[in-house]
Structure 1
């Protein structure tokens, strides 16, 4: 199976694109850079895992992607509190990051149990 066919990869890639588009005018460059990097890390690590040769390697990179989803969610929540991100929009991004993390958790278990 190609990673491009995975719904979780599609969702993570779409979230990453959204973050880049919606924060392009954010003046705190350090925050914006960290936010977009953690968002980009999720689909990138999913892709890297599925390009590996074993379920163990796939699970390892999915675990990294799951960690990035948690990192992203934290940054979004802090961004809301700091007034960098609009609450309603950013809350939906945080929810999506959390859902992506849950899906990745299930995929990790599947690959570890093979």
Structure 2
């Protein structure tokens, strides 16, 4: 079990949040949501190279969170979280290309982009919490 300390908004007291399994990590839950959305949106895309790359990148986010969690060392976990953050950036970059190539709608771009930014922020917060 990982213990993550996080600060309350209006207090200097620290609250310990227990995370029993990687499925409890909100960033993992959100990355699974993004993965399913992207898989559905690109399932019929004929640009196989593009489709495979965005699939690999988005799956990498959730898998690196899971693998890092299972390592049970904060140092190793943080390294995997950084890799997940990098994959999040790769997904956002590919979303721009998907929009320009008209593989997705503007609305799909906006939803996926916003979710990937949210995941990236959650990962940053988690990395900071592990530094305590």
Find out whether 1:4 has 2:23 as its counterpart: yes
Give unpaired runs (5+ residues) of structure 1.
Answer: none
Find out whether 1:81 has 2:100 as its counterpart: yes
Which of 34, 39, 42 is matched with 1:20 structurally? 39
TM-score by length of 1: 0.94
Identify, as 1 or 2, the structure richer in helix.
1
Deviations 1:36-71 (A, max 9, x none): 110100000000010012110110000000100011
Is the 1:19–1:36 Cα contact (8 Å) retained in structure 2?
yes
Q: CA RMSD in A?
A: 1.0
Q: Which runs of 4+ in 1 moved over 2 A?
A: none
Structure 1 CA distance for aligned equivalents of residues 127 and 89 of structure 2: 15
TM-score by length of 2: 0.82
Q: Count the aligned residue pairs.
A: 113
Find out whether 1:103 has 2:122 as its counterpart: yes
